[in-house]
Amino acid sequence: MPDDVVTLVGTYGKDGDTPSLGLGAWAHHGPKFIWACDLAPMVDGVELTPFTRAAMAGDMASSLTHFGADGLPFINADYTLTLSRLPEGAYLGLATLTHHSHDGIATGTAVVADASGPIGTATATALSNPGFSPPRVPLG
Q: What is the pLDDT of residue 140?
A: 45
Name the least confident of 5-9, 54-58, 93-97, 131-135.
131-135
| pLDDT, tens digit, 9 for 90 and up, residues 2-23 | 566 778 888 888 766 777 777 7
- Classify each residue of 81-105 as buried b or exposed e, where b means 16 or more C-beta atoms within 10 Å of its C-beta: bebeeebeeebbbbbbeebebeeee
Question: SS3 for 39?
Answer: coil
Q: pLDDT > 90: what percent of the chain? A: 54
pLDDT value at 96 more than 90? yes
Phi, psi for 133 (deg, rounded to 5): -145, 95
Q: What is the pLDDT of residue 86?
A: 98
Q: What is the pLDDT of residue 123?
A: 97
What whole-number distance in Å separates Cα of residue 51 and Cα of residue 62?
Answer: 19
Q: pLDDT > 70: what percent of the chain? A: 87
